[in-house]
Structure 1
Amino acid sequence: MTGQQAEKLGYLGLGMMGFPMAHRLLNAGYNVAVWNRSAGKAAELVEAGATLEAHPGEVAAATSILFICVTDASAVEEIVFGRDGLAAVPGAGKLVVDFSSIHPDAARDIAARLKAANGMGWIDAPVSGGTKGAEEGTLAVMAGGEAADIERVRPYVLAMARRLTHMGPTGAGQTTKLCNQVIVGCAMAVLAEATRLAVNAGIDAGRLPEALTGGFADSIPLQLFVPRMVQGIHSPPLGHIATMLKDLDTVADVARSTSSPVPMATLAGQLFRLAKSLRGADADALEIYKLSASHIG
């Protein structure tokens, strides 16, 4: 095999999103080395043909394109610059694609430091679509980095996603994800409000998606979130409260630095902060609906 088909792939971080994404690469027939802080999570992937490595540096040494999907910037830092991290091995010609959602400044900083350390390239490529999108390969990926690098990884990313859009230089993908989270976070809060109004007014809230299909209020969040709110389906979670709050707090920080008014996102952030205190950091983000209940239980 020649060209792009000869690339060996690595996947670091096998959580709610990373596991199904790595599985899709294997199902597409790619050679994939994996690592996860808890090695047991990789067992099913190893059975499907993945190679389990002991630490991130081993994955980097064995592959040419590495995908990362972890919870926050500190976890990315540890993978890249920690003991036996990516920076510890020769990196010329290798590329990192970071699917994690982190601050744009952190993405630019990590990319520059890694490039200086060993020549490894960086693409920030956060995703939208949740665990369902990861399982079905329908994710939207928004990327920042060099155009040639993004074209190099495109066929592999599209084994895991429906769309990959180059948004600009390093950090642009993360900024685009923040725009996404403004919309999604506010949508969750507004749909919770509309659903509670329907329930309290005595109509069948479960039929809202059907009733509003095709109208201006129709959307993927309406169709996906409202039934889960009404039926109390929160396991497995579509996303954790702490994750949404982290992203909305980052929105607020970038908004301050760019003099951008974000009153709706700020209110949504405060609602998720309240939900975190009442439901817990690891609760499903859609439990924001429970804030408007007559009792919290």
Structure 2
Amino acid sequence: MSFFHANQREALNQSLAEISGQINVSFEFFPPSTAEMEQTLWQSIDRLKKLKPKFVSVTYGANSGERDRTHSIIKGIKDKTGLDAAPHLTCIDANPGQLREIAQDYWNSGIRHIVALRGDLPPGSGKPEMYAEDLVRLLKSIGDFDISVAAYPEVHPEAKSAQADLINLKKKIDAGASRAITQFFFDVESYLRFRDRCVATGIDVEIVPGILPVSNFKQLQRFATMTNVRVPQWMTQMFSGLDDDAETRKFVGASIAMDMVKILSREGVKDFHFYTLNRAELSYAICHTLGVRPV
């Protein structure tokens, strides 16, 4: 058993040497709701921009106030940093005419990359009038946007089956999406099996793994329950006894994320999307260790 673990560690260390400087990263942020959170957000953007991410995305809430904040932050990122800034856009809280206006405004502002999502349905709502596939087509009718869509290695909570979920992803790609970014996951095999199934279904775009560096395990468990993400038992054991030890939790979370990237890189993955939760520390440390350095 010890020999196996020694070989496994050696393989991970070797992969770390192999991937140094050979991966691309992107980062996700969310609109802040207070002045203090906004300061934290811009500090994080300022630090992570030095790693030359492929793009940065900003999430989007189902109300006009948060929508306006997303728009403002996206324009601010583009103007202040020159980074490829990609707003999330959902279609459950706006009609096609409103969505066309938003898309046209983004296009006129020089925004060329959009993350197109259906969005979370309000409690008690019926069948939505539009889906992400329809939003992708609408965006392509406005301009030649670079469009990212969502993918779910462990199946969307509302999907009738894994196959139905995969067919839905293919519809989004066929409508004009350039790539899929996955929900966060911790079972690397689930991503690799999903990627194989995508290829078998004729999905030929990049399936970018979404990486969530964990520092608050209890919060993660709540997220995972809502999003149908499996938290492996080994991960529960690694965080056991650390409820009151925030610093050690950060080290554990960073270690897990780095190992995931090492393994996935050995399987040919080159692009990784980090869910930062508006904090730069863990994502920056992970990227630095993996050889993504300031230019």
TM-score (normalizing by structure 1)? 0.30
More helix by share: 1
**Structure number, greater radius of gyration:** 1
**Bigger relative contact order, structure 1 or 2 (CA pairs below 8 A, ≥6 apart):** 2
